[in-house]
């Protein structure tokens, strides 16, 4: 004997999705909080601003990059000729010897200013989007070089910047709580 056939009420799935949306968004907000905690700082190249600042550093004034990445400066001729550098020199901070520059770091008085929330302040959680029975909430971050901040990059001369994986780690941290 066949039992009664179950027929979902019209729009039930969409109704359930709407009921779940706030809970899904709460999880996304937890990911946002973790991502903000784990995001690397940004750093900004700052010169002393007088007329003795070399042109390659004057041009770098104000350049801002995520903390795990390198500043991009124009190379100096001496470094190109004697140190085998290409047109650009990549420095973690002023006076960075790992850049292999010599002329471009000699007597440098520049500094790097850290902004701990330089990336964190750009991390946001969107509103739930309901498509049929699916609820989607997106945590996103839009900032310069943010993809490289997450996954890392390689500069000419095989200078490697490791990724910080702050978004992936945030998602994994929240998932592990559940
Ligand atoms: Zn300098």
CA distances from residue 102 to 10, 40, 169 in whole angstroms, order as listed: 73, 28, 38
Predicted pLDDT at 132: 86
pLDDT at 12: 86
| 108 CA to centre of ligand 1 in angstroms | 4
| Ligand 1 centroid to residue 37 C-alpha, Å | 31
Confidence of residue 4 (pLDDT cuts 50, 70, 90): low
Closest CA to 35 of 163, 174, 178, 176: 174
How far, in Å, is the centroid of ligand 1 from the Cα of 72?
A: 13
For residue 3, pLDDT over 70 is answered with no
Q: Residue 107 Cα, ligand 1 centroid: separation in angstroms?
A: 7
The whole-number pLDDT of residue 10 equals 66
Q: How far apart are CA 78 and CA 54, in angstroms?
A: 14
How much is the pLDDT for 118?
Answer: 97
Ligand 1: distance of its center to the CA of 22 in Å?
Answer: 51
């Amino acid at each position: 004997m066949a039992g009664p056939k179950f027929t979902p009420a019209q729009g039930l799935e969409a109704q359930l999705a709407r009921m779940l949306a706030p809970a899904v968004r709460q999880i996304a907000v937890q990911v946002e909080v973790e991502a903000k905690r784990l995001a690397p700082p940004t750093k900004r190249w700052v010169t002393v601003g007088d007329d003795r600042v070399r042109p390659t550093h004057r041009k770098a004034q104000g350049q801002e990059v995520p903390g795990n990445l390198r500043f991009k400066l124009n190379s100096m001729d001496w470094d190109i000729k004697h140190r085998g550098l290409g047109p650009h020199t990549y420095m973690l901070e002023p006076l960075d010897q790992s850049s292999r520059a010599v002329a471009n770091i000699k007597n440098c008085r520049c500094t790097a200013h850290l902004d701990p929330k330089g990336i964190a302040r750009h991390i946001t959680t969107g509103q739930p989007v309901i498509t049929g029975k699916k609820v989607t909430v997106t945590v996103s971050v839009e900032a310069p070089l943010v993809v490289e901040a997450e996954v890392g990059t390689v500069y000419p001369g095989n200078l490697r910047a490791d990724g910080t994986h702050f978004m992936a780690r945030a998602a994994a941290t929240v998932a592990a709580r559940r």
